[in-house]
Amino acid sequence: MTPPTRRSYRVAIVGGGIVGLFTAYHLLRAGAGPVVVLERGFLSSGASGRNGGGVRQQWDTRATVRLMREAVGAWKRFGREFGTNVWFRQGGYLFLATTPDEVGRLHKVTEAVRAEGLDGRLLDATDVPRHAPALSLDGVLGATFLRTDGTLYPFPGVWGVYEAVRALGGEVCLGVEVTGVRIEGGRAVGLTTSAGPVDATTVVNAAGGWSADVSRLAGLAVPNVASRHEILATEPLKPFLDPMVIRLSDGLYFSQTMRGEVVGGLAVPHPTGTRAGVPTSVAFLGSMSRSLVRLVPALAPVGVLRAWSGYYDDTPDGFPVIGEDPRLPGFVHANGFSGHGFMLSPASSKRVAKAVMGEPTDLDPAQFSPGRFLDPHRAATPEGLQPG
């Protein structure tokens, strides 16, 4: 355990995943004052150490495309700004549609992508092999491809930002659990933790799959729901697949990492076992293998090396929650990232830092603010492209 060294901080961040760490980084860069990140597990024990490393700009809402476009720039620069190499490889994202309805959805996505000045392409099934020769085209009606999407290796991202936070004088306390949110005069004024109380002018809830619990500690009801997602990796193979591939019909996603492993899952929440640890199920191993082998028959003899799972933090409309809670001044949300918090984190955390500093952000409140769930009339249309 690394306990906090001071009693009082400008900002106390709950959760030392990529979101909490990046938020701390941007706050320190902006000269916010003393910042502490409180993480109950080890570094990368949450979703930030359990994800598929996908980074895409193909979304059906332009605001998300814009945010992700900025994030892609940040991931490209990451190695030069931070001491570690995330191996962000722009092999593209290939979305496969197998029904006319899905083709329609991909149309909408490509429109949004192109409207933001990116080179998204709608493809016929016959164009698919050019981007991913190993795929069976059985049932594929159409596809989209964006060359500048890609994949990265999440761990060095966590290490790099962690080291940068510490180099800037921030504290990252590992093995310290937040057990309560202290409220005085209707304001969040600090936390109670397993290492004692800390005071903070602002508290940030970056607790990922556990964010609803942390909000509850502050007496706030939120619609965030944790859902368990399973994922697996195969034996490492020599490179044969460049893009991340996603099939809309069953949410199958997979890519080949720099190390050669095929890593992927099914972007459907697993029905059982939320909060029962992070296990693997026989049902997942079966359905994932079936789904993958159907699309890439050559993989049938390849061994599954390991399987694991992690929690998405889902919101009703699929957009993250960024900003101060209107019900509790001093309590800022940076959560609800569903299956894409890693890729978004460099861009979203900049906005979180601004919200902490009380500065305005460019985020549409109807889409991202915590208040949107309090006012049903302001609810935005949900993000349509959830998988991967």
Partner 1 sequence: MDPAPDPRPGAGAPGPDLRSLRTRSTRYHRPRAPFCGVGYCTNCLVRVNGVPNVRACRTPFAPTDRVEVENAWPSSRFDLLAAFDVVFPHGIDTLRGFRRPAFARGFYQRVVRRLAGTGALPTPTRPVGTAPARTIETDVVIVGAGTAGRACAGAVVGAGGRPVVLEREPGAAAVDGAEVVVGTTAVFLPPPVLGRPFPFQLIASAPGGSATEVHARRVVVAVGGYDASLWFAGSDRPGVLTADGAERMHPAKRPGFHRAVVFGGGPRALEMLNRFPEHVDAVVAPGTIDPDVSRRASELDIPLYPRTLVLGALGRSRVERVRLTRRGGSSPTFEIPVDAVVLAHRRLPHAQLFFQAGARMAWRPDVGAYSPAIGACGETSVPGLFAAGEPAGAARPDDAVRSGEVAGAAVVAGGPSPSLPVAPAPEGRHELEGYYQEWLAAGPGPGKVVVCPCEDVLLPELLDATDRGYRGIEVIKRYTGLGTGLCQGRYCLPDALFVLAARERRPVPEVGYITQRPPVVPTSLGALAGLPEPGGPPP
Cα 219 to Cα 2: distance, rounded to the nearest angstrom: 28
Strand duo 331-335 + 196-205: pairing? parallel
136: exposed, middle or buried (C-beta count within 10 Å: 0-12, 13-18, 19+)? middle
Using the rule CB under 8 A, give the single segment among 25-33, 100-108, 198-206, 304-312 that binds partner 1. 304-312
Using the minimum distance from each CB to partner 1, give the nearer residue, 300 or 379. 300
Nearest distance from C-beta of residue 100 to ligand FAD, angstroms: 27
Using the minimum distance from each CB to ligand FAD, give the nearer residue, 104 or 223. 223
Residue 187 interacts, among partner 1, ligand FAD, none and using kind-specific CB cut-offs from 5 to 8 Å, with: none
Build a one-symbol-per-residue string for 23-62: x at contacts with ligand FAD by CB under 6 A, - elsewhere. Answer: ---------------xxxx---xxxx-xxxxx--------
The count of residues in the chain is 388
Report which secondary-structure segment, H or E, holds 69. Answer: helix 62-81
**Per-position DSSP letters for 106-169, written without gaps between them:** HHHHHHHHHHTT---EEEEGGGHHHH-TT---TT--EEEEETT-EE--HHHHHHHHHHHHHHTT
Contact flag: residue 9 with ligand FAD (CB under 6 A):
no
Phi and psi angles of residue 21, each rounded to the nearest 5 degrees, phi first: -70, -45
Residue 366 interacts, among partner 1, ligand FAD, none and using kind-specific CB cut-offs from 5 to 8 Å, with: none
CB atoms < 10 A from the CB of 145, how many?
22
Using the minimum distance from each CB to ligand FAD, give the nearer residue, 98 or 211. 211
Site for ligand FAD in 235-264 (CB under 6 A): none
Nearest distance from C-beta of residue 3 to ligand FAD, angstroms: 13
Using the minimum distance from each CB to ligand FAD, give the nearer residue, 47 or 113. 47
Using the rule CB under 6 A, give the single segment among 26-34, 113-121, 209-217, 233-241 that binds ligand FAD. 209-217
User: Which residues lie closer than 8 Å to 347 by C-beta, 6 or more apart?
Assistant: 67, 68, 70, 71, 74
Build a one-symbol-per-residue string for 333-352: x at contacts with ligand FAD by CB under 6 A, - elsewhere. Answer: ----x-xxxxx---------
Report which secondary-structure segment, H or E, holds 188. Answer: strand 187-193
CA 382 to chain CA mean position, Å: 17
Strand duo 187-193 + 196-205: pairing? antiparallel
Residue 39 interacts, among ligand FAD, partner 1, none and using kind-specific CB cut-offs from 5 to 8 Å, with: ligand FAD
- For residue 12, which amino acid is it? A
Nearest distance from C-beta of residue 334 to ligand FAD, angstroms: 7
Nearest distance from C-beta of residue 280 to partner 1, angstroms: 5
Nearest to 249, CA basis, from 283, 294, 279, 284: 294
Cα 32 to Cα 46: distance, rounded to the nearest angstrom: 26
User: Which residues lie closer than 8 Å to 111 by C-beta, 6 or more apart?
Assistant: none
Q: Return residues touching partner 1 (CB under 8 A).
A: 42-45, 49, 76-77, 79-80, 83-85, 87, 89, 134, 155-156, 159, 163, 234-240, 258-260, 279-283, 285-290, 292-293, 297-308
* Interacting residues toward ligand FAD by CB under 6 A: 14-20, 38-41, 45-48, 50-54, 177-178, 206-210, 214, 229, 231, 265, 310-312, 337, 339-343, 388
